[in-house]
Structure 1
Amino acid sequence: MTVSRLHSTFVALVCAAALLVSLPAFAGHNEEAPAKQAIVLAAFGTSYPEALKSILNIKTRVEKANPGTPVKLAFTSSIIRNIWQERQGDAAWQKANAGVPKDVLYVKSPLATVADLQNSGYKNIAVQSLHVFAGEEFSDLTNMMIGLRSIRALKAKSVPFKQMRLGRPALGMPGDVYPYTDDITVAVKALKADVDEAKKMNAALVYMGHGNDFFSTGIYAEFQSEMQKAYKHPVFVACVEGYPSFDDMLPGLKLAGKKNILLKPFMIVAGDHASNDMAGDEDDAWKVMLTKAGYKVKTDLRGLGMVDAWADIYVKHLKDALAQKHMLP
């Protein structure tokens, strides 16, 4: 086969694949009743019962905005899910933590949660990411949704889904339909109270983000820049994994000239990372390292999900997803 024919074949295959992905998940036009709709909130998750309140606050606000539509929780972290699965057989733990909702104790992956809903007759499903940015977890979630939406059957009634929708993370995602820079602007406004608190303390505001080692986390640096421009105050964001790291942050923090620091998690929940890596007493905890560097540090173990303005970002992104004719991306 010539190079020209190989190129033509490759282009044809790519176009065919793109067409398949862009098709609605259900091609039938004779369905008498609208498909039952459900919502899945896909969070990284947490094993800390106290930290659950951040996720549950978002769930409550989503339910209020979508009355009559069932809202289910799913955790994208297999490590976190395994911890909850072990607790399902631990009667003593359950007795000591009686306030944990059943939909958390028996939480499943997004795939299993969607499958359960489909098995219960729901063919119109919207999955809203509760991640901060479009990194590894959101990429996997997107690929899962594309795979489910592409399922076909000989009979239209046998196609498992009529519509699949995916809501973008808080800081947006690549694409021109919803510019991520607009999402950053909204996120900056949502955290104004944090800056006001830091100003009262005459402190620099430092956030610990999770980050990851597989995707660029430069959006954290961009968010930091927009916070500083909006509020004319030293605000810094560094990550547990990826860029910018704790060490990357230190030179700018030193130049800011503040001796006080307000240290907060830039994560949906204040779980293991916030409690140990950020506010713990070990030598490698950020609070300890900053204190040794000469700063007076105040920590705030409050996940972003507890900030109503931040929780409402997901409510809005879900609304955008439900309004789309086809799933994004």
Structure 2
Amino acid sequence: MPRAGLTAPPQPAGDGPEPSPALRRAVRGYLDHLTVERGLSTNTLTSYRRDLERYLATLAAGGVEDLAAVGPAEIAAHVARLRAGADGHPPLAAASAARAASAVRGLHRFAVREGLVGQDASRDVRPPVPPRRLPRALDVTEVVRLLETAGAVDATGPRAALSLRDRALLEFLYGTGARISEAVGAAVDDLDLTDGSVLLHGKGGRSRLVPVGGYAAEAVRAYLVRARPALAAAGRGGPTVFLNARGGPLSRQSAWTILRRAAARAGLPVDGARAVSPHTLRHSYATHLLDGGADVRVVQELLGHASVTTTQVYTLVTVDRLREVYATAHPRARG
């Protein structure tokens, strides 16, 4: 059972009827469940609380006092109102409406598990489908500029060891297609630079052996020989490849900061929709492989995707680029 009293119950919006105590208890229990057992972030919880506040207001306005009295029609109507805009609220974009629908569906699933209702009224209600967002990929010249910038700072100064680490980290991310969590979690024993491979430990406990490109292997080898021993001496060291200045394992947040600094120095965007992130190098890795003729199922294995459907989004990027090249290069592309 969820722990009561961890989250404040949503309050009804506007001047409509007050939601019933039963509805308030159900939502409070669900939010407590998300806080304690699911460990959702503060921002996500805030969004869910706001979404459920509007849902309670809709139910109260319709005279509904208990979740057991809600049917699929009421839930579908609520989602439609979110998309159309109502009660002084502007229309929600598909992505925001999909999140709000997810909050409502989660509440009803929770109510079934807790025995508050007999069946899930939201089971057949489909949320709006957000438009597919293509991955952001750098072109090859941008990647080269980013990587060269990362190793050019303090190459011989007091921060030389950190510069070698930063270059090795970014070369490793692009050269292996690793997720940021896989890169910072890699152990020295996972590396075989002689063979040019690394064992990456991915999602769901799945591990995969992937090649390490020549540039990445050279950068990692230089870091291991010339920088890591000094960093390890500053702390307990440990088995992880990439260490921070205190000798401990490098965190994902620190790796993101390293990339952000290098991107800024390379003149690449660090804010907005096109901002460079750790996942940008993974996207670029996949896109460049496909551009070079790699089979999508090979790329799937390299990325550690459980389904080829996830990988196929990168083929959309490639087709889009081919279209651009065709439009500019073919003499009869334009009528």
Could you tell me the TM-score, scaled by structure 2's length?
0.25
Whose strand fraction is larger, Structure 1's or Structure 2's? 1
Higher relative contact order (CA 8 A, sep 6+): 1
Could you tell me the TM-score, scaled by structure 1's length?
0.26
Larger radius of gyration: 2
